[in-house]
Amino acid sequence: MLGILFVALSNVFKVLSPRVLSWAIDMVSQNINLYGSFEGFQLQEVLKSSLKQSLLIFCLIYFATALIGGVFTFLMRQSMIVMSRLIEFDLKNEIYQHYQRLETAFFKRNNTGDLMNRATEDVSKVRMYLGPALMYLVNVFFLFTFVIYTMLSINVSLTLWVLLPMPILTISIFYINNLIHERSEAIQQQLSILTSNAQEFYSGIRVLKSYVQERLALRTYERASENYKEKALSLAHVEAFFFPLMVLLVGLSTIIVVIVGGNYVEKGLITPGNLVEFIMYVNLLTWPVTSIGWAASLVQSAAASQKRINEFLKTKSAIPTSVGKSIQLNGNIQFQHMNFVYPDTGIEALKDINLDIKSGEKWAIMGRTGSGKSSLAELILGMYYPSEGNLKIEGERIQDIQLTKLRQQIGYIPQDVFLFSDTIYNNIKFGNSKLTDEEAEEAAKKASIYDEIMEFPQGFNTLVGERGVTLSGGQKQRISIARALAIQPKLLLFDDALSAVDVHTEKRIVANLNASIKDKTVLIISHRIFSSVNFDNIIILDNGRVVEQGKHEELLNLGGIYAEFYEKQHFEQKD
Ligand SMILES: Nc1ncnc2c1ncn2[C@@H]1O[C@H](COP(=O)(O)OP(=O)(O)OP(=O)(O)O)[C@@H](O)[C@H]1O
Ligand SMILES: [Mg+2]
């Protein structure tokens, strides 16, 4: 509101300046004849000095109006552009916060690039509308009102003549702006193809080089680059056309003022000062008229962007995380006739699961690839809700539990290990930033990774990931285990967490772990049999169903999938 007031005030002064100039010119032109007629009289000198004085006063007034107008223009930008930046800030935070609340399924449905684009590109387009576009539109409105009102009060027909080319100007600018908009959009798209192209080549550089496909990569890049160049050139053509056209049309208005207005001065309909004033008004209108087309295309793209943003903002999380009963986890988990179907694909991942896991028990979950093991883990974390039947934790249905609280008490080691581009310390402390260095080191010892970390020159302060050292698969897995152990969870969920270490290291880790997991409930998902852990129960999943369960010996005697696993592993180890 304040911004709009400033816009109005700044325009009052913009219109005032030509007025002042017009008065000054008229004063001079009227007095010049008078001065001539006093030729040879004493009075001529008096007139000259008073004329000089009045001119000086006009100069000062002119300067003052320009200055005050400038101050209001500054305040206008300060209030409106700053306001748009603040809204941008809020909007970005709102989107980010909203993303955080959405369930995993949402992130599997939408790709990362799209998510990021909506939080950055689209938001900045909306800001362009709220800030510059709105400011210019309000500005145009006031300027037009004031200028046209003043012009009409001087001479109606000259005003109409001056405004004649304006609609053509606005329409053609709008048209050209659309062209520019379209082409810059195409450039943006091509640019993101180009960057993702390069990014993929660089991240896959090892595969690329080992298959000797550098030349192919170069050619693909060249083609994309060529395409980009063409699009950029086509934009440059339009822009090259744009400016001269604008100057031409504005020039046309000026010419009309000079011809028609000159005629009017001759007839005594307007003063010479008015003529100058009119020319100044025409120039004053030029830029705002140009900005109408520009602002209109900004409004269009902002509308499209806001639609895209709303699409995500309006998606409700199917799985609320911050409401529900806050439970103290002890490790009692029950599955009762539970079925689970992936909502997006309709794949039946788990069928009729009945399990009763008691606090402190150690369970192994095994099965062939794709049998539903990871899905089971994600259900316990509340990433998905069961489709049918029940999953109860501490006797409460998972749907009634406050998930943030639940997840804080679970140490989960996902199948695809993820480390952040940060120090090893911070990666291990990720689950709880209050952890001390000693606690992190303790967790690393339990995960049998301590010695290896200490061998790095910077030890626990070594940066990992993109900006730092590349760790081996097994090292990453064990840091991930340390991260889970560090938060002292009641329940540990290992999803294939030891797949990347050799049998020897595995034995060492399990022996180490055995001591630290005594009082915890532990679920170990694996392809391998850990003979060194005395599991309370081992379940075998096949095609989403529990097909075998029991203790090691029982399962061996059963002669089913477990026995088959055992046979194979035994055979390999002998190898
Ligand atoms: N996000 C998902 N959306 C849809 N279907 C999925 C999703 N994740 C897994 N599936 C499907 O669910 C089934 C079970 O997958 P799951 O990841 O649980 O298997 P897994 O036993 O962990 O296999 P692996 O040993 O290879 O890790 C598979 O058929 C898989 O294609
Ligand atoms: Mg899995």
pLDDT digits 0-9 by tens, 209-218? 999 888 888 9
Which residue has the CA at smallest separation from atom 26 of ligand 1? 369
- Which residues sit opposite 410 in a β-bridge? 491
- Residue 143 included in any domain: yes
Question: How far apart are the C-alpha atoms of 396 and 401, rounded to whole Å?
Answer: 7
Question: How far apart are the C-alpha atoms of 504 and 458, rounded to whole Å?
Answer: 27
The predicted model gives 194-202 an average pLDDT of: 80
Tokens of 475: 């090292």
- Residue 75 included in any domain: yes
Residue 466's pLDDT is 66
Mutate to test the pocket of ligand 1, among 106, 107, 342, 565 (most ligand atoms within 8 A of CB): 342
The predicted model gives 119-142 an average pLDDT of: 89
- Ligand 2: centre distance to CA 543 (Å): 13
Which residue has the CA at smallest separation from atom 28 of ligand 1? 370
Which residue has the CA at smallest separation from atom 2 of ligand 1? 342
Residue 310 reports pLDDT greater than 60 = yes
Q: Which is more confidently placed, 345 or 388?
A: 388
Q: Which is more confidently placed, 118 or 373?
A: 373
| Whether 178 contacts 301, CB under 8 Å | no
Residue 400's pLDDT is 94
Which residue has the CA at smallest separation from atom 12 of ligand 1? 349
Strands, E assignment, 52-202: none
Range of the domain at 112: 1-149
- Residue 173 included in any domain: no
- Ligand 2: centre distance to CA 517 (Å): 22
Local structure of 539: helix, strand or coil: strand
- Ligand 1: centre distance to CA 343 (Å): 13
The structural domain count of the chain equals: 1
The predicted model gives 42-63 an average pLDDT of: 87
- Residue 282 included in any domain: no
How does DSSP assign 289-301, residue by residue?
HHHHHHHHHHHHH
- Using 50, 70 and 90 to split pLDDT, how confident is the model at 544? very high
- Residue 530 included in any domain: no
- Using 50, 70 and 90 to split pLDDT, how confident is the model at 72? very high
Residues 6+ apart with CB under 8 A from 27: 51, 54, 55, 58
Q: pLDDT per residue over 326-361, tens digit each?
A: 999 999 999 999 999 998 888 999 999 999 999 999
Residue 90 reports pLDDT greater than 60 = yes
The predicted model gives 442-460 an average pLDDT of: 91
Tokens of 239: 């822009």
Residue 488 per-residue DSSP state: -
Report the atom number in ligand 1 closest to the C-alpha of 415.
27
Residue 467's pLDDT is 59
Residue 70's pLDDT is 92
Q: What are phi and psi of 173, to 5 degrees?
A: -70, -40
Report the atom number in ligand 1 closest to the C-alpha of 367.
21
- Ligand 2: centre distance to CA 350 (Å): 13
Q: What percent of the chain has pLDDT over 90?
A: 42
- Residue 51 included in any domain: yes
Q: Which residues line ligand 1 (CB under 6 A)?
A: 108, 342, 344-345, 347, 349, 367, 369-375, 415
Residue 308's pLDDT is 84
Question: How far apart are the C-alpha atoms of 130 and 306, rounded to whole Å?
Answer: 11
Q: What percent of the chain has pLDDT over 70?
A: 99
- Ligand 2: centre distance to CA 369 (Å): 7
Q: pLDDT per residue over 247-294, tens digit each?
A: 787 788 889 899 999 999 999 888 989 999 999 998 888 777 777 777
- Residue 320 included in any domain: no
Residue 482's pLDDT is 93
Residue 191's pLDDT is 78
- Using 50, 70 and 90 to split pLDDT, how confident is the model at 468? low
Nearest bound ligand to CA 345?
1
Strands, E assignment, 92-244: none
Report the atom number in ligand 1 closest to the C-alpha of 372.
18
Mutate to test the pocket of ligand 1, among 104, 365, 371, 493 (most ligand atoms within 8 A of CB): 371
Mutate to test the pocket of ligand 1, among 103, 339, 368, 375 (most ligand atoms within 8 A of CB): 375
Q: What average pLDDT does the structure give for the chain?
A: 87
- Ligand 1: centre distance to CA 397 (Å): 23
Which residue has the CA at smallest separation from atom 17 of ligand 1? 374
Nearest bound ligand to CA 349?
1
C-alpha pair distances (Å), 481 with each of 132, 442, 548: 51, 12, 28
Which residue has the CA at smallest separation from atom 24 of ligand 1? 369
C-alpha pair distances (Å), 420 with each of 34, 107, 468, 480: 86, 18, 10, 11
CATH of the domain at 26: 1.20.1560.10
Residue 521's pLDDT is 93
Residue 380 reports pLDDT greater than 90 = yes
Q: What is the 3-state secondary structure (H, E, C) of 86-116?
A: HHHHHHHHHHHHHHHHCCHHHHHHCCHHHHH
Q: Minimum mean pLDDT among 212-216, 322-326, 444-448, 526-530: which range?
A: 526-530
Q: Does pTM top 0.75 for this prediction?
A: no
- Ligand 2: centre distance to CA 131 (Å): 49
- Residue 414 included in any domain: no
Report the atom number in ligand 1 closest to the C-alpha of 371.
21
Report the atom number in ligand 1 closest to the C-alpha of 108.
1
Question: How far apart are the C-alpha atoms of 336 and 355, rounded to whole Å?
Answer: 7
